[in-house]
Amino acid sequence: DQQVKQNSPSLSVQEGRISILNCDYTNSMFDYFLWYKKYPAEGPTFLISISSIKDKNEDGRFTVFLNKSAKHLSLHIVPSQPGDSAVYFCAAVGGSQGNLIFGKGTKLSVKP
């Protein structure tokens, strides 16, 4: 049973527009979330994180929003660029040791 869900396997956006990637989780005990970006044949690269004591964290073009009551988070990329085309993974810190629980990823395509 998946604890972190990314229900959209793919998303296509025009360059310059906003990309919104969504993630839902089931365990209300999760208190720290991360987004990773992955290009083919490379490992995931850390993008941005958020603690459950916040509802928003911003870093340049990337903003993560957390809605604890809905157990939902989203990653906004504004403006989207062709180089943002990649698979984006949402992850929650699941164990006491810090191991990550990942969603299955959303493949973002940004068209010029």
Partner 1 sequence: GAGVSQSPSNKVTEKGKDVELRCDPISGHTALYWYRQSLGQGLEFLIYFQGNSAPDKSGLPSDRFSAERTGGSVSTLTIQRTQQEDSAVYLCASSSQGTRNQPQHFGDGTRLSIL
**Minimum distance between the CB of residue 66 and partner 1, rounded to whole angstroms?**
14
Please report whether residue 103 would count as binding partner 1 according to CB under 8 A: yes
Please report whether residue 29 would count as binding partner 1 according to CB under 8 A: no
Please report whether residue 93 would count as binding partner 1 according to CB under 8 A: yes
Q: In degrees, to the nearest 5, what angle opens at C-alpha 22 toward C-alphas 58 and 26?
A: 110
Please state the separation of Cα 83 from the chain's center in Å.
Answer: 16
The one among 27, 51, 67, 81 contacting partner 1 by CB under 8 A: 51
Please report whether residue 98 would count as binding partner 1 according to CB under 8 A: yes
What is the greatest pairwise CA distance in the chain?
43
The three-class DSSP label of residue 16 is: coil
DSSP string for 32-86: EEEEEEE-TTS--EEEEEEETT-SEEEETTEEEEEETTTTEEEEEESS--GGG-E
Please report whether residue 104 would count as binding partner 1 according to CB under 8 A: yes
Stretch touching partner 1 by CB under 8 A, among 10-18, 62-70, 76-84, 91-99? 91-99
The one among 24, 86, 102, 110 contacting partner 1 by CB under 8 A: 102
Q: Would you tell me which residues interact with partner 1 (CB under 8 A)?
A: 4, 6, 32, 34, 36, 41-46, 49, 51, 89, 91, 93-105
